[in-house]
Amino acid sequence: MLSSRTITVLLRLWQALPVLFGVIVVTFLLTRALPGDPAVYFAGPAADAESIAEIRKSLGLDKSLPQQFLIYLDDLSRGDLGQSLSTGQSVLADLTTRLPASLELTFAALLLSTMIAIPLGILAALNPGHLIDHACRLLVTMGVSLPTFFTGLVLVFFFYYLLGWAPSPIGRLDFAYLPPPHVTGFYTIDALLAGDPETAWAAAAQVFLPAVTLALFTLAPIARMTRAAMIQALSSEYIRTARAAGLSSRKVILTYALGNAMLPVVTTLGMVFSFTLGANVLVEKVFAWPGIGSYAVEALVVSDYAAVQGFVLSMAILFVLLNLFVDIVYTLIDPRIGSAT
Residues 241-300 that bind other proteins (CB under 8 A): 241-248, 251, 255-256, 259-260, 263-264, 267-268, 274-275, 277-282, 285-286, 296-297, 300
The reply on whether position 319 binds other proteins by CB under 8 A is yes
Q: How many other β-carbons are positioned within 10 Å of the β-carbon of residue 52?
A: 17
For the CB of residue 169, give the shortest distance to other proteins in the complex, in Å: 9
**Alpha-carbon torsion 296, 301, 305, 309, what sign?**
positive
**Alpha-carbon torsion 159, 164, 166, 170, what sign?**
positive
Instruction: Report, in angstroms and rounded to the nearest whole number, the Rg of the chain calculated over CA atoms.
Output: 24
Decide whether 115 or 138 has the Cβ nearer to other proteins.
138
Decide whether 137 or 201 has the Cβ nearer to other proteins.
137
Output the 3-class SS for 255-305. HHHHHHHHHHHHHHHHHHHHHHHHHHHHHHHHHCCCCHHHHHHHHHHCCCH
Stretch near other proteins under the rule CB under 8 A, chosen from 89-97, 110-118, 149-157, 191-199: 149-157
The reply on whether position 131 binds other proteins by CB under 8 A is no
Decide whether 192 or 234 has the Cβ nearer to other proteins.
234
Decide whether 78 or 250 has the Cβ nearer to other proteins.
250
For the CB of residue 150, give the shortest distance to other proteins in the complex, in Å: 4
Question: Which residue among 44, 161, 184, 288 contacts other proteins (CB under 8 A)?
Answer: 161
Question: Which residue among 10, 11, 13, 30 contacts other proteins (CB under 8 A)?
Answer: 30
Decide whether 167 or 264 has the Cβ nearer to other proteins.
264
Angle made by CA atoms 119, 122, 152, in degrees to the nearest 5: 45
Q: Mark out the alpha helices in the chain (DSSP H runs).
A: 4-32, 38-43, 49-59, 65-77, 91-126, 131-145, 148-155, 187-193, 197-234, 237-244, 249-250, 259-287, 292-301, 305-333, 335-338
What is the distance between the alpha carbons of residues 220 and 3, in angstroms, rounded to a whole number?
A: 37
Given a contact cutoff of 8 angstroms between Cβ atoms, the answer to whether 329 and 137 are in contact is: no
The reply on whether position 165 binds other proteins by CB under 8 A is no
Stretch near other proteins under the rule CB under 8 A, chosen from 45-53, 57-65, 188-196, 235-243: 235-243
User: What DSSP state is assigned to residue 175?
Assistant: T
Question: Number of residues in contact with other proteins, rule: CB under 8 A?
Answer: 90
For the CB of residue 295, give the shortest distance to other proteins in the complex, in Å: 11
Decide whether 183 or 288 has the Cβ nearer to other proteins.
288
Q: Got the DSSP string for 68-109?
A: HHHHHHHHHHTT---B-TTT-SBHHHHHHHHHHHHHHHHHHH
Q: State which of positions 209-228 bind other proteins (CB under 8 A).
A: 224-225, 227-228
Stretch near other proteins under the rule CB under 8 A, chosen from 25-33, 43-51, 89-97, 170-178: 25-33
CA within 13 Å, CB half, 69: 14
For the CB of residue 290, give the shortest distance to other proteins in the complex, in Å: 16
Residues 6+ apart with CB under 8 A from 250: none
What is the distance between the alpha carbons of residues 325 and 273, in angstroms, rounded to a whole number?
A: 12
Question: Which residue among 10, 184, 238, 325 contacts other proteins (CB under 8 A)?
Answer: 238
Can you say how many angstroms the Cα of residue 246 is from the centroid of all Cα atoms in its chain? 43
Decide whether 46 or 340 has the Cβ nearer to other proteins.
340
The reply on whether position 185 binds other proteins by CB under 8 A is no
For the CB of residue 178, give the shortest distance to other proteins in the complex, in Å: 26
For the CB of residue 99, give the shortest distance to other proteins in the complex, in Å: 13
